[in-house]
């Protein structure tokens, strides 16, 4: 499937299930990027599909010139190289058009804090206003709805959920991932009538929380951390949490702006769980020499 070819195939039942929970409509979103850190990396593809209250589906899709070299370790996933994007616009104009496309309809994405982090950071950089949209995470929703079921997917990655619901997916192509997110969420909602608690658990933030937020720049003392995360090295982290200082080895995933401040999102190698570490609470960090972050699939 070409990343520009997409058949919009939501059934009437799927549309009804989505509009029952999102009566104002819903916009599914997906990005391809040069890496996993919204505070450092760049958008190279932006896709969204809007379902309006009258059941109409419309598409927004744009390839983006990041103006930096795309790392080889990410090309193996999305397949986009710099020469594919050299005639594409930079992010500023498509981002303005995207927020106009959204109107005030809620947004849904798989692991939404990553995708929206890129768009929020871009809006901050280009002084672009964004609407006060509510943002929901289809991964959180799937985990909340399916974790106690008799039959569950092998994990809650988009590719596993697509397989679970027998949805055709050209993974890491933004339009295909967007349509899969929308169809997968519709299938989830078709199975569940009482959605209040699950919807609450899938809520990420409202974009207006970022309007007067200073979470877009890391303090200068963390400049080295940007490079370390880009190079996918493992770290020994000293962190001041609720129970005082703690030390742990971590596998960095990304640097992300959130309403309460920037975070280092990482896997704790002691527990195997992904955790969010507030940047302002990190006391020190050191590279674990010879250890590198495996490529994400």
Among 49, 32, 56, smallest CA distance to 101 is for 49
Asked if 138 and 59 count as a contact pair (C-beta separation under 8 A), the reply is no
Give pTM, 2 decimals: 0.90
Residue 215 lies inside a defined structural domain of this protein: no
How many domains is the chain partitioned into structurally? 2
Residue 215: per-residue pLDDT:
80
| The pair of three-digit structure tokens given for residue 97, joined into one six-digit string | 């058009």
Q: How many C-beta atoms surround the C-beta of residue 8 within 10 A?
A: 13
Radius of gyration, CA atoms only, the chain? 19
Same-domain pairing of 172 and 278: no
Asked if 144 and 21 count as a contact pair (C-beta separation under 8 A), the reply is no
Residue 191 lies inside a defined structural domain of this protein: yes
User: CA-based angle 243:38:63, to the nearest 5?
Assistant: 160
Same-domain pairing of 168 and 234: no
Domain-terminating residue out of 210, 239, 273: 210
Residue 37 lies inside a defined structural domain of this protein: yes
- Return phi, psi of residue 239, to 5°: -135, 140
| The pair of three-digit structure tokens given for residue 193, joined into one six-digit string | 């009538």
pLDDT mean by block of 10 residues, the chain; 297 residues: 68 96 97 95 97 96 96 92 96 97 97 96 93 96 90 93 90 90 95 86 93 78 90 92 91 93 93 92 88 43
Residue 176 lies inside a defined structural domain of this protein: yes
Same-domain pairing of 196 and 279: no
Domain-terminating residue out of 210, 235, 253: 210
Residue 123 lies inside a defined structural domain of this protein: yes
Residue 148: per-residue pLDDT:
82
Residue 22 lies inside a defined structural domain of this protein: yes
Domain-terminating residue out of 191, 210, 229: 210
Residue 277: per-residue pLDDT:
95
Same-domain pairing of 79 and 155: yes
Same-domain pairing of 159 and 107: yes
CA–CA separation, 259 and 216 (whole Å): 10
Q: Which residue in the block uniquely carries the two structure tokens 């850190």?
A: 37
Strand order of the β-sheet with 203-206 is 57-63, 43-51, 26-33, 107-109, 134-137, 203-206
SS3 103: coil
Task: Write the burial class of residue 67 (CB in 10 Å: 0-12 exposed, 13-18 middle, 19+ buried).
Answer: exposed
Residue 87 lies inside a defined structural domain of this protein: yes
| The pair of three-digit structure tokens given for residue 190, joined into one six-digit string | 């078709």
Same-domain pairing of 256 and 123: no
Residue 193: per-residue pLDDT:
78
Same-domain pairing of 181 and 84: yes
Same-domain pairing of 175 and 112: yes
Domain hosting residue 95, numbered range: 12-210
Asked if 185 and 195 count as a contact pair (C-beta separation under 8 A), the reply is no
Residue 2 lies inside a defined structural domain of this protein: no
Same-domain pairing of 20 and 131: yes
- Return phi, psi of residue 77, to 5°: -90, -55
Same-domain pairing of 120 and 237: no
CA dist 257 → 8, 13, 36, 210, 265 (Å): 32, 36, 12, 9, 10
Residue 4: per-residue pLDDT:
63
Same-domain pairing of 189 and 281: no
Q: Output the domain CATH number for residue 197.
A: 3.30.420.10
Same-domain pairing of 131 and 28: yes
Q: Output the domain CATH number for residue 264.
A: 2.30.30.520
3-state secondary structure 108-161: EECCHHHHHHHHHHHHHHCCCCCCCCEEEEHHHHHHHHHCCCCCCCCCCCHHHH
Residue 3: per-residue pLDDT:
60
SS3 250: strand
| The pair of three-digit structure tokens given for residue 199, joined into one six-digit string | 């919807």
Helices (H) and strands (E) in the chain, counts: 10, 11
């Amino acid at each position: 499937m070409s990343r520009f070819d997409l058949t919009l195939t939501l059934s009437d039942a799927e549309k009804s299930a989505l509009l029952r929970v999102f009566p104002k409509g819903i916009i599914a979103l997906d990005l391809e990027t040069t890496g996993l850190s919204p505070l450092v990396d760049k958008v190279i593809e932006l896709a969204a599909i809007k379902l309006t209250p009258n059941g109409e589906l419309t598409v927004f899709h744009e390839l983006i010139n990041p103006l930096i070299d795309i790392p080889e370790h990410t090309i193996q996933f999305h397949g986009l190289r710099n020469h594919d994007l050299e005639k594409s616009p930079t992010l500023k104009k498509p981002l303005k058009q995207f927020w106009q496309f959204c109107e005030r309809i809620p947004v849904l994405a798989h692991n939404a804090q990553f995708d929206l982090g890129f768009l929020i950071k871009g809006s901050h950089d280009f002084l672009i206003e964004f609407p006060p949209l509510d943002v929901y995470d289809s991964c959180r929703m799937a985990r909340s709805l399916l974790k106690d079921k008799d039959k569950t997917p092998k994990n809650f990655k988009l590719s596993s959920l697509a397989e679970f619901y027998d949805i055709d997916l050209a993974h890491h192509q933004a339009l295909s991932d967007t349509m899969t997110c929308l169809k997968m969420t519709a299938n989830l909602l078709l199975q569940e009538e009482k959605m209040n608690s699950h919807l609450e658990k899938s809520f990420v933030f409202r974009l207006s929380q970022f309007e007067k937020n200073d979470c877009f720049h890391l303090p200068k003392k963390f400049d080295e951390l940007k490079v370390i995360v880009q190079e996918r090295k493992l770290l020994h982290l000293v962190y001041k949490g609720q129970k005082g200082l703690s030390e742990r080895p971590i596998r960095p995933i990304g640097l992300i702006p959130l309403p309460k401040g920037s975070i280092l999102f990482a896997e704790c190698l002691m527990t195997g769980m992904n955790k969010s570490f507030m940047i302002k609470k990190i006391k020190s960090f050191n590279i674990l020499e010879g250890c590198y972050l495996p490529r994400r699939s």
